[in-house]
Amino acid sequence: MTGQQLKNSILQMAVQGKLVPQDPNDEPASVLLARIRKEKEELIKAGKIKKEKNPSYIFRGADNLPYEKVGKNEPVCIADKVPFEIPESWEWVRLGSIGDWGSGATPSRSIPEYYGGDIPWLKTGDLNDGYIEYIPENISRLALEKTSVRLNPAGSVLIAMYGATIGKLGILTFPATTNQACCACLPIEICNEYLFYFLMSQKVAFVKQSEGGAQPNISKEKIVATLMPLPSLAEQYRIVAKIKEVLPYIERYGEACSTVNSLNKAFPDLLKKSILQEAVQGKLVPQDPSDEPASVLLKRIRAEKEQLIKDGKIKRDKHESVIFRRDNSHYEKCGSTEENIDDIIPFELPNSWEWIRLSAILTSTDAGKSPQCENRPRTIGEWGVIKTTAIQDGYFLAEENKVLPPKFNLQESMVVHHGDLLITRAGPRNRTGVICVVDGEPENLILSDKTVRLSYLRNFVNPHYVMTALSSPAMQYFVIDAMTGMAASQVNISQEKMKTFLLPLPPLNEQQRIVDEVSKILGRIDKLNF
């Protein structure tokens, strides 16, 4: 149960006579109701309020059922209209019977003299579901005289009738006018706070009754026709006191619920990040002393790349570096330049691991093109260009593509294949630097200009490990740091920057063990129900 649901439940108990006990010494509501009617008649006679066209009179019949007489019509049983049973000492009334109701108006903005006076003029956005102690805009006495605005006395209960604020409430602490979207009531002989809390209990019902699309509303007529359970005046005050007593606890409960819900929502993601971080620090699976160490793996990788360069299959990376340890510190050598990089090394690695730049395991980086396409996915036999949304955290969505024009000049370097390691290079901040591995052979798909294939030595590196590592919190720091662009809605990572990402490299066999364990644990997390 949320805080709001608990609050609604308390309010419902209050108006059903279940929140505080009835006192047999209280003046019954029937006597109070008779007094309200008498007071209304006197106010009508004095010309202070207008007479209702068809006043409602609800009473208990000889069969103890509620009956209603409207205007000069014959009484009708309304047992099927009352929403719940009330205590015997209570009475049912229409809201129009217990106060003077009216709506406001908006003086013409084309007449400047109507504004800037000393009479507060409330708009529904000023309602705060509590006491109104400040209203930012004022109108003049001229506006009060020349327009249909109504000056509502202090103590009036206000309710919003239009738009997104439907059901919003307030109680005036000083006289004020309102716009036409607000309905006001000065209660007669009843506690205005009881009316306030009753209206609050009806908010959901009022919203359901609202009409219209762009501007739904609950007319004044619907509000005044609403049935209200009326307890004795003394019980009204006891109900109000009890609600005020419990509301702080409900608010604290609501805050606690919100915190718990937020934590529950965030927990799976936080847990996944923690697992990924443990994985890339060599803490998720044990090291096996029989594994070929990463230092030997690196030598084989460098030898393979040298052969590919010699064969003219790849180009030498002028900026490729070697990271090594000396005197218990980390150093990086690029060409003839050597520097200490302890300040960028985020954590210590197991002895069998090595730090590298991503370029050390890459043979090339390839981007695609994004020609003008029809806004539909490709069909059988057609070629498509992948959207950035095809690359999700950890998986590839082949269906996220747009069909290529028939005459588009396809190049093999653009074609997406099984095992490709893909990364988004441009777009919103939260969608840039997202990495996945293509599992399964996608048909007839090419890279877009906002996606990059990180081509790696497939016999020497596990792409799922690289994806896992670059998705970990510590490595994501380097990804985020590589982003350029001022607006969060559009950032970019160059291919050259991608090559400089730091990567912890475990032995090849350990890479597979990490991938297997991460997959198993994340699968379990996805099944958790918070």
In a domain, residue 259? The reply is no
**Strand duo 157-160 + 322-326: pairing:** unpaired
Same domain as 318, residue 236: no
Residue 135's domain comprises 3-252
Q: From CA 193, how far away is CA 75, in angstroms rounded?
A: 31
The helix/strand/coil state of 469 is: helix
Same domain as 178, residue 316: no
The amino acid occupying position 357 is: R
In a domain, residue 124? The reply is yes
In a domain, residue 272? The reply is no
In a domain, residue 350? The reply is yes
CA end-to-end span of the chain, whole Å?
Answer: 14
In a domain, residue 268? The reply is no
Adjacent-strand bridge partners of 435: 423
**Strand duo 56-60 + 66-70: pairing:** antiparallel
The confidence score (pLDDT) of residue 214 equals 60
In a domain, residue 442? The reply is yes
Q: From CA 272, how far away is CA 521, in angstroms rounded?
A: 8
Q: From CA 267, how far away is CA 309, in angstroms rounded?
A: 47
In a domain, residue 262? The reply is no
Taking the whole predicted model, whether its pTM rises above 0.85 is answered as: no
- Domain boundary pick from 236, 252, 268: 252
Same domain as 197, residue 305: no
Same domain as 227, residue 82: yes
Name the one residue in this structure whose structure tokens are 């049935």: 227
Structure letter (DSSP) for residue 27: P
Same domain as 193, residue 292: no
**In total, how many domains does the chain have?**
2
pLDDT in tens, the chain (530 residues): 788 889 999 999 999 999 999 999 999 999 999 999 999 999 889 888 888 888 888 888 888 888 888 888 889 999 999 999 999 999 999 999 999 999 999 999 999 999 999 999 999 999 999 999 999 999 999 999 999 999 999 999 999 998 888 999 999 999 999 999 999 999 999 999 999 999 999 998 888 887 655 667 888 999 999 999 999 999 999 999 999 999 999 988 888 888 878 877 777 888 888 999 999 999 999 999 999 999 999 999 999 999 999 999 999 888 889 999 998 899 999 888 999 999 999 999 999 999 999 999 999 999 988 888 888 999 998 999 999 999 999 899 999 999 999 888 888 889 999 999 999 999 999 999 999 999 988 889 999 999 999 999 999 999 999 999 999 999 998 888 899 987 778 899 999 999 999 999 999 999 999 999 999 999 888 887 65
Here the CATH number for the domain that contains residue 15 is 3.90.220.20
Same domain as 460, residue 317: yes
Residue pLDDT, tens place only, 107-146: 999 999 999 999 999 999 999 999 999 999 999 999 999 9
In a domain, residue 470? The reply is yes
- Domain boundary pick from 252, 267, 294: 252
The amino acid occupying position 331 is: Y
Same domain as 150, residue 246: yes
Same domain as 248, residue 338: no
Contact 16, 260 (CB under 8 A): no
The amino acid occupying position 21 is: P
Same domain as 297, residue 184: no
